[in-house]
Amino acid sequence: MTPSNEHKNPTEAAAMIDVVLRREKNWEELWFYQKTVVLYQLTYTFTSRFLPKYGDRTVDQMIQAARSGKQNIVEGMADGVTSMELEMKLINVARASLKELREDYEDYLLSHRLTRWQKGHIRYGNLLKFCQQHNKLEEYQPFFNRWDDEEMANTALSLCHYVDKMMKSYESWLEQDFKENGGIRERMTAARLGYRNIQKATIEAKDREIAQLKSEITRLQGELKYLKEAYQRQDFRLVLTSKTSMTSKTGQLLLIWSPVVESDISTKRAFLFRRCSVSSCLIRPAASGSLAII
């Protein structure tokens, strides 16, 4: 860990480790979810137009299968924030429900002696192209009351095919994501260990900082001791780099200085002075850096 990361607060540190919760997906933007919305509304209209309102359990079964396909996608992706396992299970439940719905449409065509459009049928290619390129409900809804039962059933079968194919690809992506990133327990463990490592590094950095401050305190205490001893000796000294003597403004007083040998005390620090015993004058450093006799 680099020094710049050692003093991050917990909020910043959390961004440096693996997140525990997975990002929730916006299922409304997924094409296979959009197609299941179309399937549900199409099925509702189909059963209302072509199946008996009472006495036929197929109506409820088809509507519930279409609804289950759509709702389990929503629930699965919402639960996937904390559990990829649950998401995969619910996505598979959605696929199973739509396969059940597909079977109901195939049974309807067979029992009513209608044609199942397959490769070679004159309208099969255009139907596949339309279902492949269109996902939104508003693109299908204008036809709900215009198509006959054969057209609606074959459209529903094509939608079931594309939805199942896309959801299968999504399950494969989930499987790969699980292999690379693991599940919720692994992410929780990684996040906790990562945060503890950050805490440990922060404590170690603070310990080093404290040691440096103690060393600086010891150095300053030694310098203070030296200055106190100089003051007690009434030592009339000045730290100079070149000059060792100076004459008063009147030229009558000659002060002789013995420069302090350079040590760990900077030559730019403040200095100690005492009153001159010869002329009762007080020597202070002037603003220009020279000496003034007061």
Give per-residue pLDDT as tens, 156-175.
999 999 999 999 998 888 88
pLDDT of 108 reads: 95
pLDDT of 127 reads: 94
User: 42 near 63, Cβ under 8 Å?
Assistant: no
- Sign of CA pseudo-dihedral 119, 120, 123, 125: positive
User: 195 near 15, Cβ under 8 Å?
Assistant: no
As a whole number of angstroms, the distance between CA 14 and CA 20 comes to 10
As a whole number of angstroms, the distance between CA 237 and CA 250 comes to 22
Residue range 140-151: mean pLDDT, rounded: 95
DSSP string, the chain: --GGGTT--HHHHHTTS--SSPPPP-GGG-HHHHHHHHHHHHHHHHHHHHS-SSS-HHHHHHHHHHHHHHHHHHHHHHHTTT-HHHHHHHHHHHHHHHHHHHHHHHHHHHHTT-----TT-TTHHHHHHHHHH--SGGGTGGGTTTS-HHHHHHHHHHHHHHHHHHHHHHHHHHHHHHHHH--HHHHHHHHHHHHHHHHHHHHHHHHHHHHHHHHHHHHHHHHHHHHHHHHHTT------SS--EEE-TTS--EEE--PPPP-SS-TTS-----B-TTT--BEEE-TTSSEEE-
Can you name the residues that pair with 247 across neighbouring β-strands?
Answer: 254
pLDDT of 128 reads: 94
Residue range 18-39: mean pLDDT, rounded: 82
Per residue in 56-108, pLDDT (tens digit) is: 889 999 999 999 999 999 998 887 777 777 888 999 999 999 999 999 999 99
- For residue 199, how many C-alpha atoms fall within 13 Å in the half-sphere facing its CB? 7
Share of the chain above pLDDT 90, in %: 41
**At residue 141, does pLDDT exceed 50?**
yes
pLDDT of 20 reads: 60
- Token couple for 287: 């603003």
- pTM of this structure: 0.57
